[in-house]
Amino acid sequence: MNESLGCARRASLMEMASGTTILGIETSCDECSAAVVETTGPQAFPLKVLGLATYSQVSLHSPYGGVVPEIASRNHLETVNPMIMGALSEANRQFSDISAIAVTNRPGLVGALLVGVSAAKAMAYALNKPLIAVHHLEGHIASLFLEQNILSTEKDFPCLVAVVSGGHTQLHVITEPPEKWGDSLLKSTMVGRSRDDAAGEAFDKTAKILGFPYPGGVWIDRQSQGGDPKAYAFPRALPDKSILEFSFSGLKTAVSLQVQELKKKGALDAQIANLCASIQEAIVDALWSKIKIALGRYSCRSLAIVGGVAANSRLRQKLQHDCPVPVYQPLPQFCTDNGAMIAAAGAIRLSQGKSLDRKSMLTLNAVAHPDS
């Protein structure tokens, strides 16, 4: 984190316990979301989600088979204020009740990020509240602490955290509870990532080949019910056990060739469930095989899985059945992009005294790249 430390309201975790209220804003891609999250009990976590308002742009991007950046940013402009007001109203809170504002400023589509960042900067400056710049993937990890009390004791660490979203597939070994997370948490803990497509992207691209609308992950999940996961032997890339990386780009080529062949035979429609189940199995297998290696290599005592793909039913089932350590997941409503997870990450950083002061908040920028 680049932000200057020690905004006037530097709060310890114990101080945070006395009802700190964070407004979180997320506009990094195709969800415009705001949430009001509050600390409740004697501990900073779990965080209570008092209000959450999300506008999904899925129907706007669906005809194009993927997110159109210009459409995303223009639409965020129209929806960001209603989402903020919606979250406040559901929470029954006013601007004056807010302790701090957290916003995703990286990574993502720059035009889309800028809408949330500008709104958050303006509010924080006008209301004289601390501003916290949040890394989107740190937000996904912090979604674990929404409405559930997990990873609160040392016995869960090291914890392997798998971030599986539409844009990223990364493995992190986190050795300490959130109050001790360093500024470069994501960089310092990463032990594996995808060389090309993310797992969610693999779902979305193969779903597109099958003719399902964007985003396709949930369609493949649904259509797999009743299909045979062994019907088609789609590739599992990088089987070498010494490599903790993923590669999903070969999968879409294999699916595309198979679909062409079935189309020629006029057999595609009858095979949709089998194709979906086989695609899903290939992605879940690839994820699980590398997770298993990482759990052993780093002697992890728990596994946490976050991001949109964490909602996948087969992945959840496989982890529950096969994983030798406790498995933690966000509640399903907090898996895909939302403002509450950004507020949660903001709460962690605020508790460490890491927020932007009035001067430095004005120069906060949006950044596209994940390693920033």
Q: Note the residues at the interface with ligand KG4 (CB under 6 A).
A: 29, 165-167, 200, 203-204, 215-218, 221, 307-309, 311-312, 336-337
1 binds, among Zn ion, ligand KG4, none (CB under 5 to 8 A by kind): none
Q: Which of 132, 61, 64, 62 is nearest to 99 (CA)?
A: 132
Cβ 54 to Zn ion, closest distance in Å?
12
116 binds, among Zn ion, ligand KG4, none (CB under 5 to 8 A by kind): none
Largest CA distance in the chain: 69
217 binds, among ligand KG4, Zn ion, none (CB under 5 to 8 A by kind): ligand KG4
330 binds, among ligand KG4, Zn ion, none (CB under 5 to 8 A by kind): none
For 271, residues 6+ apart whose C-beta sits below 8 A from its C-beta are 231, 262
203 binds, among ligand KG4, Zn ion, none (CB under 5 to 8 A by kind): ligand KG4
Is 19 exposed, middle or buried (CB count within 10 Å of its CB: 0-12, 13-18, 19+)? exposed
The vertex-215 CA angle with 53 and 173, nearest 5°, equals 80
Nearer to Zn ion, 16 or 109 (CB): 109
Nearer to ligand KG4, 129 or 136 (CB): 136
Nearer to ligand KG4, 129 or 318 (CB): 318
Using CB under 5 A as the criterion, which residues of the chain lie in contact with Zn ion when the complex forms?
A: 165, 337
Q: Which of 337, 345, 307 is nearest to 37 (CA)?
A: 345
Cβ 224 to ligand KG4, closest distance in Å?
9
215 binds, among Zn ion, ligand KG4, none (CB under 5 to 8 A by kind): ligand KG4
Q: Provide the 3-class DSSP secondary structure of residue 304.
A: strand
Indicate the DSSP class of residue 102. E
Q: Provide the 3-class DSSP secondary structure of residue 353.
A: coil
Tally the residues of the chain: 372
Cβ 181 to Zn ion, closest distance in Å?
19
Cβ 206 to ligand KG4, closest distance in Å?
10
Nearer to ligand KG4, 52 or 356 (CB): 52
162: enclosing H helix or E strand: strand 159-164
Cβ 200 to ligand KG4, closest distance in Å?
3
Nearer to ligand KG4, 34 or 98 (CB): 34
35: enclosing H helix or E strand: strand 31-39
C-alpha 324/C-alpha 293 separation (Å) is 12
Nearer to ligand KG4, 312 or 355 (CB): 312
DSSP H helices, 92-183, are 110-127, 136-142
Q: Provide the 3-class DSSP secondary structure of residue 8.
A: coil
User: Quick check: 49 and 340 in contact, CB under 8 A?
Assistant: yes
Nearer to ligand KG4, 98 or 212 (CB): 212
221 binds, among ligand KG4, Zn ion, none (CB under 5 to 8 A by kind): ligand KG4
DSSP H helices, the chain, are 13-16, 58-61, 69-91, 110-127, 136-142, 185-189, 199-209, 217-224, 249-264, 272-297, 313-322, 339-351, 358-361
Cβ 11 to ligand KG4, closest distance in Å?
28
Nearer to Zn ion, 140 or 252 (CB): 140
Is 27 exposed, middle or buried (CB count within 10 Å of its CB: 0-12, 13-18, 19+)? buried
Cβ 113 to Zn ion, closest distance in Å?
12
Cβ 28 to Zn ion, closest distance in Å?
7
200 binds, among Zn ion, ligand KG4, none (CB under 5 to 8 A by kind): ligand KG4
User: Quick check: 337 and 57 in contact, CB under 8 A?
Assistant: no
309 binds, among ligand KG4, Zn ion, none (CB under 5 to 8 A by kind): ligand KG4
Nearer to ligand KG4, 220 or 356 (CB): 220
Cβ 292 to ligand KG4, closest distance in Å?
20
